[in-house]
Amino acid sequence: AQSVSQHNHHVILSEAASLELGCNYSYGGTVNLFWYVQYPGQHLQLLLKYFSGDPLVKGIKGFEAEFIKSKFSFNLRKPSVQWSDTAEYFCAVNEAGNQFYFGTGTSLTVIP
């Protein structure tokens, strides 16, 4: 089975700081990659996704992620975080099939 690692469990940043959250996966074949966000008390919402093409993917709310195949990574970035970005972030991987595998999540706290 696929393994998805999110190395940062809890990140605390001040507003306007830059963000990078790491995500690595284990499967070496063709994968679809996703970042989801979960605001407090809410369900998961899609931030961005990669299926093919340009490895730099732009999502909603100024987030982007870069797929580096050689490193099995799909790191999430945002140049300047806001207090409203406080949430939990999940990386997910879908192989050529129907199962999705999620990382354990990274809790982001942005201090005003």
Partner 1 sequence: DAGITQSPRHKVTETGTPVTLRCHQTENHRYMYWYRQDPGHGLRLIHYSYGVKDTDKGEVSDGYSVSRSKTEDFLLTLESATSSQTSVYFCAIRPRANTGELFFGEGSRLTVL
Q: Residue 48 CB, nearest distance to partner 1 (Å)? A: 10
- CA distances in angstroms from 80 to 11, 37, 83, listed in the order given: 14, 17, 10
Of the pair 40, 112, the CB lying nearest partner 1 is at 40
Q: Residue 14 CB, nearest distance to partner 1 (Å)? A: 25
Applying CB under 8 A, which residues contact partner 1? Answer: 1, 6, 32, 34, 42-46, 49, 51, 90, 92, 96, 98-105
Of the pair 67, 90, the CB lying nearest partner 1 is at 90
Q: What is the DSSP string of 19-83?
A: EEE--EE---S--EEEEEEE-TTS--EEEEEE-SS-SEEE-GGG-EEEEEGGGTEEEEEESS--G
Q: Note the Cα 89 to chain centre separation in Å.
A: 6
Q: Residue 60 CB, nearest distance to partner 1 (Å)? A: 13
Of the pair 17, 64, the CB lying nearest partner 1 is at 64
